[in-house]
């Protein structure tokens, strides 16, 4: 039985989900993808499987340090090298289960969360995974203060009364605090032996791994491949796949072609338009489930003329959502009718959302003082799934109301840097998270999170801020959902973003792959259970 199958369920939500992810890496380097030519590496029928899985990726990973990166490609690689206090139970979209945690609970006021750790878990060097390691991971993450640290600002202190107990003391109630922990792998504190210049070993972990999961890093050749290998003396059950090879494809068409050819077992990050062709390919199956992969447009609310509510509303009314859904997604997704995502905890159909209305869009532009339209630049980068295609649709849509859009493709790292600094007018965006409204409500719209911390439109509405902060402090799920819906009504009137679509979780693979379990976040692939 795998470590996934042993977890006991503890759900934060009263809602059960019957059905059942920012690919954000820097797309640079050689345009010659591995496996672009040559014979198929798939075994011949009847041949014994050699224990190797091959998963194609669309770009190089950035830092492999869980305390630093927000990169979905990096997380795809390191997800199974670390263990986490809690994770989303494979096969569901919302249920949390213990990984390192045997149990966890909150104080009545929601300001303390206590985790009791399982015994027997060890880092690869044999060191026990204890409360000290958990405390080190989160303390050092907050001191490094990059990437995911912004989600943990409420931590006041971390108490470790014994080796198996960790208590997070928060400055304020935080109802969904355990959900934040599902991306933070627990790091061996011995990484401090690699510390340089007070970086808490982050420089070392940018290209190395020090975890307790079933896989460790065997090789990394930039622009070529990353290789994981099963840990020989892993404390738990040995994974079925002994080696996982991640070839890097900077030409995305090669990623699809090599899966079709049989040189890949799984392809991660295929563009949406190419993904649609995968459903009817012989030898391929596409895992297609409810997804929390959001595509939207950041409108910089501090830049003229996008600082005008009426201008932003006009762009939202000019958008042809049906065309995007039908032509680009071909039904494998839904219109994002607001930041309260479909199938998230407590979701209900919103009372108001934008539909295409060119007459209303033109009137709003005239009312805002732009009867003849205006010109702005829309940034995009290829790792954002479907970005180029959606940007072209928007360019055509806005031309119909006299607004000229200049499309500019830039490197993902450059785009993210400019977004963080507010040095842009508009940008295509992608967000991949789980079924908690916190991720799309608080993170996208709380004005304390300007830039890459989440509020990438630089939107500010004090009333919305108050409602969002009230919601996340509410321990009652029903009351929490009601508060979020109040906030959504205000947000949609302000139109801080153009909310495009919620893409299904689609992961294409060869039909010989066995043991895959759905996860709403596509980079969380349960590698130890996979076989051929």
In Å, the largest CA–CA distance within the chain is 70
**Residues 349/351/356/360 CA torsion (nearest 10 deg):** -170
Quick one: tokens of 523? Answer: 């980079």
pLDDT for residue 250 = 81
pLDDT for residue 351 = 86
Question: What pLDDT digit, counting tens, does each position of 360-389 carry?
Answer: 999 999 999 999 999 999 999 876 667 888
Task: Work out the number of other CB atoms within 10 angstroms of the CB of residue 282.
Answer: 6
Determine the angle formed by the axes of helices 477-494 and 462-473, rounding to 10 degrees. Answer: 160
Query: 14: Cβ–Cβ under 8 A, 6 or more apart, which residues?
Result: 477, 478
pLDDT for residue 37 = 35
Question: What pLDDT digit, counting tens, does each position of 413-455 carry?
Answer: 899 899 999 999 999 998 877 778 998 999 999 999 999 889 9
Task: Please tell me the distance from the alpha carbon of residue 328 to that of residue 507, in angstroms, as a whole number.
Answer: 16
pLDDT for residue 45 = 55
State which residues of the chain have pLDDT below 70: 1-46, 93, 383-385
pTM over the 0.85 mark: no
Task: Please tell me the distance from the alpha carbon of residue 141 to that of residue 131, in angstroms, as a whole number.
Answer: 15
Query: 454: Cβ–Cβ under 8 A, 6 or more apart, which residues?
Result: 150, 442, 443, 444, 446
pLDDT for residue 34 = 41
Q: Which domains does the chain possess?
A: 292-504 (3.10.105.10)
β pairing state of 243-247 and 52-56 = parallel
Report which of 415, 416, 470, 461 is spatially closest to residue 438, judged by C-alpha positions: 470
Report which of 102, 86, 84 is spatially closest to residue 94, judged by C-alpha positions: 86
pLDDT for residue 8 = 35
């Amino acid at each position: 039985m795998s470590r996934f199958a042993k977890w006991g369920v503890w759900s934060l939500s009263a809602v059960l989900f019957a059905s059942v992810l920012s690919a954000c890496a820097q797309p640079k380097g050689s345009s010659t993808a591995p496996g672009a030519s040559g014979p198929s590496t798939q075994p011949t029928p009847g041949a014994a499987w050699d224990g190797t899985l091959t998963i194609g990726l669309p770009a190089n990973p950035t830092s492999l340090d869980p305390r630093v990166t927000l990169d979905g490609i990096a997380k795809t690689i390191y997800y199974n090298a670390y263990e986490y206090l809690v994770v989303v139970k494979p096969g569901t979209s919302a249920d949390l289960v213990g990984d390192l945690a045997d149990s966890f609970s909150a104080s009545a006021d929601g300001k303390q969360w206590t985790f009791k750790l399982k015994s027997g878990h060890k880092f690869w060097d044999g060191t026990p995974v204890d409360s000290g390691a958990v405390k080190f991971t989160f303390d050092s993450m907050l001191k490094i203060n990059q990437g995911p640290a912004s989600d943990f600002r409420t931590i006041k202190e971390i108490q470790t009364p014994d080796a198996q107990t960790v208590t997070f003391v928060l400055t304020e109630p935080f109802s969904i605090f355990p959900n934040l922990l599902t991306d933070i792998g627990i790091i061996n504190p011995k990484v401090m032996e690699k510390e340089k210049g007070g970086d808490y070993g982050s420089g070392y972990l940018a290209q190395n791994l020090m975890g307790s999961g079933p896989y460790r890093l065997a090789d990394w050749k930039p622009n070529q491949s990353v290789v994981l290998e099963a840990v020989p003396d892993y404390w738990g059950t040995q994974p079925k796949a002994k080696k996982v090879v991640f070839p890097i494809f900077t030409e995305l068409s090669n990623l699809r072609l090599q899966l079709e050819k049989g040189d890949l077992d799984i392809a991660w990050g295929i563009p949406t338009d190419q993904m649609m062709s995968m459903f009817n390919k012989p030898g391929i199956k596409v895992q297609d489930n409810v997804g929390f992969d959001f595509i939207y447009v950041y409108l910089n609310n501090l830049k003229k003329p996008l600082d005008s509510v009426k201008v932003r509303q006009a762009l939202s009314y000019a958008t042809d959502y049906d065309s995007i859904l039908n032509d680009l997604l071909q039904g494998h997704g839904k219109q994002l009718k607001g930041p309260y995502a479909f199938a998230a905890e407590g979701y209900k159909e919103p009372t108001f959302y934008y539909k295409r209305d060119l007459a209303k869009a033109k009137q709003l532009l005239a009312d805002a003082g732009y009867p003849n339209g205006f010109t702005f630049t829309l940034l995009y980068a290829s790792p954002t799934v479907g970005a180029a295609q959606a940007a072209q649709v928007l360019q055509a849509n806005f031309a119909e109301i006299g607004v000229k859009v200049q499309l500019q493709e830039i490197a993902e790292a450059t785009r993210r840097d400019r977004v963080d600094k507010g040095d842009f007018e508009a940008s295509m965006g992608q967000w991949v998270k789980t079924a908690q409204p916190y991720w799309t409500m608080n993170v996208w719209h709380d004005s304390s999170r300007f830039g890459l911390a989440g509020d990438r439109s630089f939107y500010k509405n004090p009333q919305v801020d108050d409602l969002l902060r009230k919601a996340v402090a509410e321990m009652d799920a029903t009351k929490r959902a009601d508060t979020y819906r109040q906030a959504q009504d205000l947000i949609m009137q302000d139109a801080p973003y153009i909310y495009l679509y919620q893409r299904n979780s689609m992961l294409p693979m060869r039909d010989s792959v066995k043991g895959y379990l759905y996860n709403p976040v596509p980079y969380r692939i349960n590698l130890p259970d996979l076989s051929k």
